[in-house]
Amino acid sequence: MEIRQFRPKDLDRIIEIERSSFKDPYSRTTFYSFYREYPDTFWVYEKDEKIIGYVMFTTEGHIINIAVDPAYRYKRIGTELMKSVISRVTGERVWLEVRESNIAAQRFYYKLGFRKRMIIPKYYGQEDAYILVLEK
């Protein structure tokens, strides 16, 4: 197992995981844009030379996106990614947006110590977002 920085050759696998994880997946262009802007904070989780998860974040503490291949969920991969991020960020808090309907993700974040701080109406089109925050 290894958590390492994203490489452009990883993109096809990242897109597969993204599409199997979200109903409104990020585009290839979005991933490249993030990589160009934040190359040091786009990480992949690799096991046996296969990428099975990834996380994108800022050093200030904003989790932009995290996903794990559905076949590997509930094996603490997301937890390992998040703990690595939490230890790396420079700010005193870590925060993210999550869909109101994504109960599984909310439970995951609450177990890590995140708390709901705000609701943003219609952030995801017709769906509200919760802003979750973890104080370090």
pLDDT of residue 32: 94
Residues 52 and 97 in one domain: no
List residues with catalytic annotation. Answer: 97, 109
Residues 2 and 56 in one domain: yes
Kindly give the parts of the chain with pLDDT less than 70: none
Residues 2 and 61 in one domain: yes
Total domain count for the chain? 2
pLDDT of residue 115: 99
CATH number for 33: 3.40.630.30
Pick from 81, 67, 116: which is nearest to 95 by CA?
116
pLDDT of residue 67: 98
Residues 71 and 118 in one domain: no
Residues 80 and 68 in one domain: yes
DSSP string, 11-70: HHHHHHHHHHH-SSPPPHHHHHHHHHH-GGGEEEEEETTEEEEEEEE-TTSEEEEEEE-G
pTM for this prediction: 0.94
Sheet containing strand 62-68, edge to edge, reads 2-5, 42-47, 50-57, 62-68, 93-99, 127-135, 115-124
Q: For 66-93, what is each residue's pLDDT tens digit?
A: 999 999 999 999 999 999 999 999 989 9
Residues 102 and 70 in one domain: no
pLDDT of residue 135: 97
Range of the domain at 115: 93-136
Residues 52 and 118 in one domain: no
Residues 58 and 106 in one domain: no
